[in-house]
Amino acid sequence: MVGEMIFVSGQASVDESGKIVSDSFEGEFRRSVENLRKVLAAAGSDLAHVVQTRNYVRDAEDVPLFNQLYREYFSAPFPARTTITNCLPPSLRYEIEAVAVKASQK
């Protein structure tokens, strides 16, 4: 945290011990975003206060599904978003980084 800003490094499909949990793209996406949600809650924020995301999608053919799932977790006005494809190792299908503000600031 810097002031009221919360910077969350890459959240992937990992369990509480940090072990990668391989799954379908949807399963990995949901687990990654739920991990992000936990980090934000611990910092006094939530997904509604995310102002920017960086998304890493291993396989470009998963982008349409990514777009659909993203709208389940984030709503208009959507956070500023960057999506990079074909960039993750074989062990991961998805990873997300985020910048948020404290819940009382947006």
Tokens of 41: 């809650």
- What's residue 104's pLDDT? 80
Per the model's pLDDT, the better-predicted residue between 12 and 106 turns out to be 12
Res 77: pLDDT: 93
* pLDDT tens digits, one per residue of 54-96: 999 999 999 999 999 999 999 999 999 999 999 999 999 999 9
The reported pLDDT for the residue numbered 105 is 58
Helix, strand, coil % over all residues of the chain, rounded to 5: 35, 30, 35
Mean pLDDT, rounded, for 28-38 = 98
The CATH number of 5-101 is which of 3.30.1330.40, 3.30.360.10, 3.10.450.50, 3.40.50.300? 3.30.1330.40
